Amino acid sequence: MTAQRADVARAAALLRAGELVAFPTETVYGLGADARNPLAIGKIFAAKGRPADHPLIVHLSDASHLERWAVDIPEAAIRLAAAFWPGPLTLILKRHPSVPDAVTGGQDTVGLRVPDHPLALQLLREFGGANGGANGGGLAAPSANRFGRVSPTTAAHVREELGDSVAMILDGGPCAVGIESTILDLSGGEARILRPGMLDAAAMDAVLGYSPEFGGEQNAPRVSGSLEAHYAPRTPLQLVAAADLAATAREALGAGRRVAVLAAQPLAFGHDSLHFCPASADPAQFAHDLYAQLRELDAMRCDVILAVAPPAGESWRAVADRLRRAAAGSK
């Protein structure tokens, strides 16, 4: 059931009282708390089982409140915000001194984004009140999953992950994008993509007139989404080339293993211990389906998930990134 106006009002009241509310965004569901309230932020880390030095993204109702959260905002940020907010882009900027350490993990930067989901925007406006509220109307929200697990893309997934540790879950249906936002660091001299998402470098190039670089190793400890053991199903996931899929599946089945396959084309043979899950050949649809499919495949309790490695190329980069981490994290 999709949440109603009265639910949004109740959710905003809970957030103002320092409670946790999970809410839908276009990317994945977020686990929200008042970004100016360190006690409420502490509840996020406890509910997720996440290390407290991992910074959180602050969600805003619109770009006009940026100055309450960031300082020295570069021209590039203004232009990207105008072009892509609301949307699946997180900007890392120099933090405003008023942003609690609990949100930034003690760093001198803060992640900000305006999510593109009607319920999220309603909630942010209701929470902030007039003029974005006395405290800037920001909701800190990581993905609403236990640390290291697959992000939730439906309200039911959030319930599975977090159960009663969240005061309320706003149900906004399945998330349209399906994987987490692109994270762009604009806090240093040059623009760097710390986490690829469905909003790609080419789209930013069209606005900026140059293409941001992809973040190097030096960024790894700053972004928990960049840890290898992330976005992982419980069942070991193995990436295989399309040409090797049949042979790899046969070998595993021959060894008595129960095999799940995530591929665009079904195998030419069947087997009692083989479960096939159809993947899309379109990257946007693939991203949309991915986390729900990983959950579904996990629930089959197979011994291994064989996922066909996506094609090379920019349009598959974000999906390839999540699959690679799912493979590394599930070992």
Which is closer to ligand TXA, CB of 87 or CB of 132? 87
Site for ligand TXA, residues 22 to 41, rule: CB under 6 A = 25, 27-28, 30
Residue 90 binds to ligand TXA (criterion: CB under 6 A): yes
x/- map, 107-136, ligand TXA, by CB under 6 A: x-xxx---x---------------------
Nearer to ligand TXA among residue 163 and residue 218 (C-beta): 218
Instruction: Give the binding-site size for ligand TXA (rule: CB under 6 A).
Output: 27
Token pair 């899929």 is found at: 245
Residue 107 interacting partner from Mg ion, ligand TXA, none (CB closer than 5 to 8 Å by kind):
ligand TXA
| H or E stretch at 289 | helix 283-299
What gap in Å lies between CA 158 and CA 146, rounded to an integer? 9
CB of 8 within 8 A of CB of 123?
A: yes
Q: Which does 30 bind (CB under 5 to 8 A by kind): Mg ion, ligand TXA, none?
A: ligand TXA
CA pair distance 327, 331, nearest whole angstrom: 7
CB of 120 to ligand TXA, least distance (A): 8
Cβ atoms of 86 and 119 closer than 8 Å: no
Task: Choose from Mg ion, ligand TXA, none: what does 182 bind? Cβ within 5-8 Å by kind.
Answer: none
| Binding of ligand TXA by 166 (CB under 6 A) | no
> Hey, which bits of the chain come out as E strands?
21-23, 30-34, 57-59, 70-71, 89-95, 109-113, 139-140, 168-169, 182-185, 192-195, 213-214, 237-240, 259-263, 274-278, 304-308
| Identified binder of ligand TXA from the candidate list 57, 166, 292, 308, rule CB under 6 A | 57
Contacts of ligand TXA in 196-225 (CB under 6 A) = 222-225
Q: Are 95 and 73 in contact (CB under 8 A)?
A: no
Smallest separation (angstroms) from ligand TXA to the CB of 92 = 5
Comparing CA positions, the residue from 151, 80, 89, 146 lying closest to residue 115 is 89
Tallying the residues shown for the chain, one arrives at 331
Alpha-carbon distance 260 to 58, whole Å?
37
- The nearer residue to ligand TXA, 33 or 57, going by C-beta atoms, is 57
User: Which whole-number Å values give the CA distances from 195 to 76, 118, 146, 318, in the listed order?
Assistant: 18, 24, 19, 8
Does residue 100 interact with ligand TXA by CB under 6 A?
Answer: no
Give the interface segment with ligand TXA, choosing from 180-188, 251-259, 302-310, 319-327 (CB under 6 A): 180-188
Contacted entry of Mg ion, ligand TXA, none for residue 109, CB cut-off 5 to 8 Å set by kind: ligand TXA
**Footprint on this chain of Mg ion (rule: CB under 5 A):** 143
**Residue 110 binding target from Mg ion, ligand TXA, none, CB below 5 to 8 Å by type:** ligand TXA
Residue 181 found at the interface with ligand TXA (CB under 6 A)? yes
For ligand TXA, the closer of residues 56 and 327 by Cβ is 56
* Amino acid letter for position 167: A
Angle subtended by helix axes 155-162 and 283-299, to nearest 10: 40
Residue ranges binding ligand TXA (CB under 6 A):
25, 27-28, 30, 54-57, 90, 92, 104, 107, 109-111, 115, 141-143, 180-181, 183, 194, 222-225
